[in-house]
Structure 1
């Protein structure tokens, strides 16, 4: 009788754990690389957005940083639900935690967007920078100008 009960408990535990494991497998990991940095100093501050609304309001779903001293600089964002994402990043060369700008508001520290979307009198649209994250490994390369 104890063998039957042990097997029943093991099967019950497996049925509880299996959906959680399957849900984890359905998530995507995103590796971001930043090749050809002009200055190998400071941090790259990275904001990840999952909607045009978040992009427009400046409210990322994830925020991380990467050392600019590594070659290439890279960051890994784990466990993203599959979907459309866009990334904004800038290299904080002077270490003050803010993007430095000139008196006209033009950035003086390197910055960039996913899909190397180009700004036009402001940041590009979410659609211009958006890419798909699928379950498993995903990668994007961003050039900072």
Structure 2
């Protein structure tokens, strides 16, 4: 039997299940309050679930995006660390891009930590290019100092 993958919209009811993934993926994760504020309105997001045969579904990852006028921003994208390296991030990113296009976006923005090379490669392979850097934007994941944010963009 094969596992079924399913993308479904994020709702406020999902936050408690998504927070462990958020916390595992980020040194400075969103709070539940921040997460709640990014559901509905100009925000859109999907969770990726896997349903193994004869068991309940397991959330593998998610993304949250924002759409304003004709531009979309990838606000957050996470894959459970135990599921990373299996193509789920790519699947989520491409779904986000497709959703942004469907909403009428002509450009997509995102920012990524300068030290997050695997995420940068994912974005570059999808066609994103570096536009600028925000020097010292993120608190360091090591607990002291700051890290640059790389601003990337994709024209649709």
Instruction: Name the one with the larger strand percent.
Output: 2
Asked if TM exceeds 0.5, the reply is no
Larger Rg, first or second structure (1 or 2):
1
User: Per chain length, whose mean CA-contact separation is higher, i.e. which structure has more relative contact order (CA < 8 Å, sep 6+)?
Assistant: 1
Which structure has greater helix proportion?
2
